[in-house]
Amino acid sequence: MNHETARPPTTRIGKRDFHWGEKTFVMGVVNATPDSFSSDGVGADVDRALRQAMAFEEQGADIVDVGGESTRPPSLYAGSEPVTEREELSRVIPVIEALAPALSIPISIDTYKARVADRALAAGAAMVNDTHGFRGDADMARVVVEAGVPLVLMHNQDHTRYTDLVPDVIAGLERLADDAVAAGVDEGKIILDPGIGFGKTARHNLEIMRRLDEFSVLGRPLLVGMSRKSTIGYVLDLPVDDRIEGTAATVALSIAGGADIVRVHDVKEMVRVARMSDAIVRGWEG
């Protein structure tokens, strides 16, 4: 493994510079889906999506992440079969077109489909959040390189077998980053996500959270998303709409472990958690 990649001090996303290490950035989730695992999908209601995103910005979100396909595992939840490219486009493009002129914070498109990413970037998105790490669509690298935008590459696999969990996930993320650079992606525009809940059991997810500091060896900004996820439900025995305290614990510990971005559904509350955690972890001048 080559771990000589220098962590970029700053990444420009849209019209904003993200100075890594200065604070923890909060990504608010806007699900343009009727079947979001987190029960907060706005469906085809563009006005509702706009209100939600504007509220997120007012509450302190740094990025809004728009997705049009539920990523919950079909084996665990009903109604989460993959949607067609046409359907996904019909969900996300009207939302992004409405959000782009209304927000001052950047918009991320959560998709693994190259054409959806391409159209979303043309509509006003400024970053691609690829939950398949360029493995879902061979044309995604070209779209990202031509647009010159930052991207998130997430570790994802269709099984839960590991030789050694954390080193395996780190190695997988490094391969994703190396392949992206080989395809022409700028080194300084790559953000990595260990993929909590994707190809991992609840015990795996908890171990990754416990050992998150080990991912610093990758030398890249790290995004962590455990908001409302099933692991919290398993531990606390709570439904998806009653996991705010569990989410808060994961956000605080993600920050203590070195996360640069936390992806959340409950923006107001998690911005406060992030600010308090940052005061402890990064320092506070009053």
Q: Which residues are catalytic?
A: 229, 263
Q: Which residue has the tokens 């979001």?
A: 36
Q: Look up residue 2 and give its DSSP letter.
A: -
Sheet holding 25-31, edge to edge: 190-193, 151-154, 127-130, 107-110, 63-67, 25-31, 261-264, 223-224
Q: How far apart are CA 70 and CA 68, in angstroms?
A: 7
Residues in contact with 147: Cβ distance below 8 Å, sequence separation at least 6, in sequence order:
118, 121
- Token pair listed for 106: 């950047």
Q: Do the Cβ atoms of 33 and 52 come closer than 8 Å?
A: no
